[in-house]
Structure 1
Amino acid sequence: MSHFSAFPNPPKLDAKPFTVAIPDTDVAELQSLLKASRLGPSTPTNSNPSDHSLGVSMDWLKTAKQTWETSFDWRAQEKRLNSFPQFMTRIPIQIEGKEYIHEIHFMALFSKKKDAVPLIMLHGWPGSFIEFIPLLGILSKKYTPETLPYQVIVPSLPGYGFSSGPQSTEFKMTDVAKIFNDLMLGLGFDKYVAQGGDVGSGVARLLTMNHDNCKAIHLNMLSTAPPQNDDRSILSQAEREALDRGAVFRQTGWAYGIEQGTRPNTLGFALSSSPLALLAWIGEKMLEWSDEDPSMDEILTNVSIYWFTNSISTSFYPYRETLARGPGYYKYHEKPLGYTWFPREIIPVPKSWAEKDGNLVFYRQAKSGGSFRGAGSPRGVVERRGRLH
């Protein structure tokens, strides 16, 4: 994949090649901790292997633990990650008059086409940059560096994966947007499009609100309040059913977000001390928020990244801000907005709701899919936008 690694222009920042290489001692420690970890007791609520409505089942966690401990091949996953160009750079941010330096990790597929559209793709929680690996694989097989229509940048959010975490309690999502705008400018792109899901969707919206260089966005999650005159009779049956599921999620599924936003210290210490606890916490969401169960390799690779980078505690900061924000935080803007609606998304906003939040130029209603669908269809936004002005 090295043929996609050539910067189209000399970067203004120092971006060095990066290789995922977890030390053997860390891998051995993980296996030792897993072996020493005991499963909790069997209870009436966790004994049904097909019921995850109250959290992961005993059967699933036992199988996942055994797989992670004995047969999961982290080195094979490392090889897969390293088959795509990766880089590390340093970006400063000013917070209350003090400068902090953030180490930012990103994957990239660089194009040699002069008119290739710069595209930054932003993951969420409890995801990571690996959400976009299937898309990068498709693009790298379909195109060559001479024909690739995008300059694809996939960073790890600050505090996630291999990017360094917040160094101030005042670190906000606007700071994340500022860092990523500076990243794109530093890579030589003065105009770009952003794609985001979950936490990344909020960052993408802040990019359009606060940074002129971001010319359009595509989202596969769009958090917004209902219109003042909410007429559900105009919604499709699929949209009404999805909204009903969303209401259930707010009542029974949002407890994790409240905990992460109000008691991040305690939860961070607990999950950082036990890989089995981390597996249960993240695995539950990956199972519940997907229309089809992700593969065990996909779940274990994602959880392994959180474990090896010790980043679960630093991944919680967006939730403190989310709980403090009121309605109307994201402002309407005229920049082109694309939205792909997935029926199993935890916040399934209908098209009519999305239209009140932005200049909706592209909309697609997928027949299946949940929170881990990654890119959706940003191409529609780019095509309807035409050239970046």
Structure 2
Amino acid sequence: MSFDTIPSKASLKPKPFNAHVSDEDLKSFQTLLKYSRIGPKTYENLTADVKDFNHWGISREWVADAKQHWETKYDWRKTEDRINSYPNFTVPIEDSGFEFQIHFTALFSKKPDAVPLALLHGWPGSFLEFLGTLDVLREKYKPEDLPFHVIVPSLPGYGYSNGPPLDKDFDTEGIARVVDKLMVGLGFGDGGYVAQGGDVGSFVSRVLGVNSEACKAVHLNLAIGIQQPDDVPMDALSKEEQEGLVRYNNFGNLGNAYAREHGTRPSTIGLVLSSSPVALLAWVGEKFLQWSDESPPVDEILDSVTLYWYTDSFPRAIFPYRQFFGPKPTFFHPDAQWYIKKPMGYSWHPKELAPVPKAWVAKSGNLVWYRGHTEGGHFAAMERPKYFVKDVEDFVKEVWPTVK
């Protein structure tokens, strides 16, 4: 397979991985889905508008239609074929006395000066968010001229990576250590690498930018948690940025109940959503619909929900929320501890759940590159992969000569 040549300097020995659910598990799931009931009609679920933070959540009609499509038209085997069209690997990585089995998808370059790039997802995403990005890069380049080594890990607890230890706490800094060990172990320790992240991946990228010597630059498409600086008045912001802050405030006041549940009652919500595929569909589907600029195709949403179901990702993946909303939150708002001194880039999208203004983000790190977009939401790589690739290419082209 093209793009599958692991760098010669790698100390890790990744094993090829093939995504495959057994026929027995597939049949069992289809039976469970068929008999999973949808709740009764209510005033709220008949009038719900998922695009409006003020209006109840996901509609019963959407869930019913998506369930029917899932049962009668959706084909997980096609998604597996797409996953397996890329080089996939698993590799053991030890951290704090625990052995993680980390899955990652990659496009390895044969170009001597290719820039290592870690693309980091969040919740309710997965490595699937970046398949469109890999499509663009694979169509545009050959292994001989690909300017990046592109590494897309499944973060601990997500997808085909195993979850954190059952007998000890684990946190975002721990995720960053595992990602750093992966990148260094693949041979990128001496020359360094670039971290790119959204959602939970944005926090992991920030930690890497601060704590990892090998991480030389950071690009973010989410900067949630940053507060208005005293020296940046509202009238200094553009009209688009001010409209984005309305969305940010709506999310903070009316849109983050899910995150508080993840952080304060992870045991309860984990058990609830592991019991019914329709429950998981409603919980995850709402976020893809509400946080995207344009609603993704139902098959794309079902890809993510199905991956979560078959890999038991939901209860294993929400542990970072305890840091944000748990009993003793250590929310990663970029105070002095998390100021990124290395080159930082930021892509702004109007339908991001927290479209933080450029001037605010500049207070949280050494912002040397910025691009404001007129379209796009929370899932930047999935929604607009060609623009995402362009942003990453332009950011790396500008900063890499100064840090390598």
TM-score by length of structure 2 reads 0.93
Secondary structure, counterpart of 2:207 in structure 1: helix
Contact 1:49 1:60 (8 Å CA) reproduced: no
Counterpart of 2:285 (choices 278, 283, 286) is: 283
CA distance in 2, matches of 1:343, 1:358: 21
Would the alpha carbon gap of residues 354 and 273 (structure 1) be closer, same or farther in structure 2, given more than 3 Å must change? same
CA distance in 2, matches of 1:50, 1:164: 36
Secondary structure, counterpart of 1:317 in structure 2: coil
Q: CA deviation at 1:333?
A: 2.8
What are the within-5 Å matches in structure 2 for residues 233-272 of structure 1?
Answer: 233-272=235-274
Q: CA deviation at 1:50?
A: 5.4
Q: Would you say how many aligned residue pairs link Structure 1 and Structure 2?
A: 384
Secondary structure, counterpart of 2:340 in structure 1: coil
Deviations 1:82-116 (A, max 9, x none): 1111000000001xxxx000010000000000000
1:370 aligns with 377
1:45 aligns with 44
Q: CA deviation at 1:32?
A: 0.7
Are 1:17 and 2:16 an aligned pair?
A: yes
Are 1:210 and 2:217 an aligned pair?
A: no
What are the within-5 Å matches in structure 2 for residues 297-312 of structure 1?
Answer: 297-312=299-314
Unaligned runs of 5+ in 1: none
What are the within-5 Å matches in structure 2 for residues 101-140 of structure 1?
Answer: 101-140=99-138
1:385 aligns with 399
Contact 2:49 2:56 (8 Å CA) reproduced: no
Counterpart of 1:347 (choices 345, 354, 360) is: 354
Counterpart of 2:330 (choices 307, 311, 325) is: 325
Contact 1:232 1:240 (8 Å CA) reproduced: yes
Which structure has more helix as a fraction of its residues?
A: 2
Deviations 1:47-87 (A, max 9, x none): 24755531111110001001111110110111011111100
Secondary structure, counterpart of 1:300 in structure 2: helix
CA distance in 1, matches of 2:337, 2:128: 27
What are the within-5 Å matches in structure 2 for residues 157-196 of structure 1?
Answer: 157-167=155-165, 168-190=167-189, 191-196=192-197
Deviations 1:305-342 (A, max 9, x none): 00000110011101001120254275223210000001
Would the alpha carbon gap of residues 31 and 54 (structure 1) be closer, same or farther in structure 2, given more than 3 Å must change? same
Q: CA deviation at 1:144?
A: 0.2
Q: CA deviation at 1:381?
A: 2.3
CA distance in 2, matches of 1:32, 1:231: 57
CA distance in 2, matches of 1:103, 1:355: 36
CA distance in 1, matches of 2:398, 2:365: 15
Q: CA deviation at 1:30?
A: 1.3
Would the alpha carbon gap of residues 253 and 50 (structure 1) be closer, same or farther in structure 2, given more than 3 Å must change? closer
Q: CA deviation at 1:228?
A: 2.4
Would the alpha carbon gap of residues 50 and 172 (structure 1) be closer, same or farther in structure 2, given more than 3 Å must change? closer
CA distance in 1, matches of 2:371, 2:148: 21
Contact 2:154 2:161 (8 Å CA) reproduced: yes
Contact 2:87 2:105 (8 Å CA) reproduced: yes
CA distance in 2, matches of 1:206, 1:354: 15
Secondary structure, counterpart of 1:87 in structure 2: strand
CA distance in 2, matches of 1:329, 1:273: 42
Q: CA deviation at 1:169?
A: 3.9
CA distance in 1, matches of 2:232, 2:163: 40
CA distance in 2, matches of 1:333, 1:341: 18
CA distance in 2, matches of 1:105, 1:19: 10
Q: CA deviation at 1:386?
A: 3.2
2:143 aligns with 145
CA distance in 1, matches of 2:140, 2:176: 30
Question: Letter of the aligned partner of 2:267 in structure 1?
Answer: N
Unaligned runs of 5+ in 2: none
Q: CA deviation at 1:230?
A: 3.8
Q: Which moved more, 1:32-41 or 1:109-118?
A: 32-41
Contact 2:48 2:56 (8 Å CA) reproduced: no
Contact 1:109 1:151 (8 Å CA) reproduced: yes
Would the alpha carbon gap of residues 379 and 23 (structure 1) be closer, same or farther in structure 2, given more than 3 Å must change? same
Question: Letter of the aligned partner of 1:44 in structure 2?
Answer: Y
TM-score by length of structure 1 reads 0.96
Question: Letter of the aligned partner of 1:206 in structure 2?
Answer: V
2:275 aligns with 273
Contact 2:159 2:308 (8 Å CA) reproduced: yes
